[in-house]
Structure 1
């Protein structure tokens, strides 16, 4: 007969915590790139990378924030939903991406989204988002993230490049 052992929070350290948080993000997290109109920008648009996890209980979000050592936790007043957000490009490149490279996501769809997100981060880190050809490449890649039903975007590639 197999025995079952309950794992407490104090048992989750190092790799165990890393894999636990990766599993949590697997189900609840998202890697996104949004667009904002910016009249004062050379290309008139700002691409914004974000890593986000939302929950009704902020406990695990706090653990994730402490582990990644970046981002903010905020609460939406209308439904008391907590959200952990990282939008600083350097934090994404230096903390978020390496963390999930060390503790990889398991599902094919989340791995694919993360890989695309990493490619976009590389382009943006080299300043590609500041010219039209780089922005086009970012938006083409962005179209491949979270494909399928339920995905809504305020602005799409056709808003920027109405060819």
Structure 2
């Protein structure tokens, strides 16, 4: 599979990506909360090939298709080893940079 240009990936994420944090109650943690950062991209099912290339680029994550809406969602929940290093090396240019 053709490897995507890392600068292109950053630009694609600038326009289409989403960074989020979820807080989940979990008694195993000192404050009783587990922090779950994640990264995702949502596209039409027509973009399945491109989303596969993005998944291959980051070498992890999962793709889920919501058949009711014809949407494909690529998501990575363990962002420390791949996502953060990528965007430190190839920084986002939009306001999304502040969120990251």
TM-score of the two chains, using structure 2 as the length reference = 0.84
- Between the aligned partners of 1:29 and 1:96, the Cα distance in structure 2 is 12
SS in 2 for 1:58: helix
Please list every run of 5 or more consecutive structure 1 residues that lacks an aligned counterpart in the other structure.
Answer: 1-9, 115-163
Please list every run of 5 or more consecutive structure 2 residues that lacks an aligned counterpart in the other structure.
Answer: none
How many residues are aligned here?
97
Q: Which structure is larger by alpha-carbon Rg, 1 or 2?
A: 1
Which structure carries more relative contact order (alpha carbon 8 Å, separation 6+)? 2
The CA RMSD measured in Å over matched residues stands at 1.8
Higher strand share: 2
Describe how 1:14-93 pairs up with structure 2 within 5 A.
17-39=5-27, 41-56=29-44, 57-88=47-78, 92-93=79-80
TM-score of the two chains, using structure 1 as the length reference = 0.54
Describe how 1:1-163 pairs up with structure 2 within 5 A.
17-39=5-27, 41-56=29-44, 57-88=47-78, 92-107=79-94, 109-114=95-100
